[in-house]
Amino acid sequence: MLILPKKLEMSLTCNQLLHKHTQVWREATVHPFLEQCKLGTIQPEQFNTWLLQDYLFVVDFTRMVGRLLAVAPLQHFDVIVGGLSALQEELNWFEAKAAERSLALDAHKQLTCQIYCDFMYSLATMPYPVQATAFWAIEFAYNQGWQLPGTMPEPYAEFAFRWGNPSFTEYVQLLEQQADQVLQNTSVTIGHQAEEAFLKVAKLEKDFWQMAFNC
């Protein structure tokens, strides 16, 4: 009788990824761009570059979340659909902030932004646990990035509150729970893919802050 080898499985959590890659995650969420927002010393052209490029990023991020919904288990719909609704409001908010600064939103994506958007598009070919991990990591990076510096002066306080407020923090925690659910007893291959996606998000977040800081 032919005995098939047992499928190799592993259990992985978002928290394990954070503890395993502490320094990498710190570099994704602690940056001079954010520190200078806190100090009120960030230059207008630096902040405006970030705002325009982040708007373009959020457009593609919204599309990514839409694709995620197509493969998500039904029990995850409520959180994902809620996130999509919030993203539509966020795009409207970005448009209002750009108008206040007389910025045209038809700008071209800088290379760093384009690379990040290409990565998000590529996630559609990955198993759902990988997509869910990346989704959580992207949102958590902003949640921490805008919280960690502490209280910011105007006009940056509004931006810090948008991604650092308690409601958004609770939403990110729900994304973590959903990612953890589908990472339990997954295959070793998918577990490694999820870890690679987490590390890719961390690198891209670091690069995105640096892109604006170096403008």
Please write the tens of the pLDDT for every residue from 69-87: 999 999 999 999 999 999 9
3-state secondary structure of 184: coil
Which residues is 186 bridged to in the sheet?
10
DSSP 99: H
Considering only residues 147 and 5, tell me which one the structure prediction assigns the higher pLDDT.
Answer: 147
Kindly give the residue spans of alpha helices, DSSP state H, lying in the chain: 14-20, 22-29, 32-39, 44-71, 77-100, 111-122, 128-147, 156-164, 166-183, 188-213
pLDDT band at residue 11, thresholds of 50, 70 and 90?
confident
> Which CATH number is 13-213's, of 3.40.30.10, 3.40.50.720, 1.20.910.10, 1.10.8.100?
1.20.910.10
Per-residue confidence at 1, pLDDT binned at 50, 70, 90? low
pLDDT higher than 90, residue 4: no
Q: Is the pLDDT of residue 7 over 70?
A: no
Please indicate whether residue 2 or residue 100 has the higher confidence score (pLDDT): 100
Per-residue pLDDT, 8: 60
Band of pLDDT at residue 103, cut at 50, 70 and 90: very high
Strand partners, 9: 187
Average pLDDT over residues 36-55: 97
Provide the H-helix boundaries in 72-155: 77-100, 111-122, 128-147
CB atoms closer than 10 angstroms to residue 158:
11
Q: Dump pLDDT digits (tens) for 117-143.
A: 999 999 999 999 999 999 999 999 999
Q: Is the pLDDT of residue 10 over 90?
A: no
Tell me: the pLDDT tens digits for 16-25? 999 999 999 9
Please give the biggest Cα pair distance in the chain: 74
Domain range annotation of the chain? 13-213
Predicted local distance difference test score (pLDDT) of residue 6: 45
In the predicted model, is pLDDT for residue 35 greater than 80? yes
Q: What is the pTM of this model?
A: 0.94
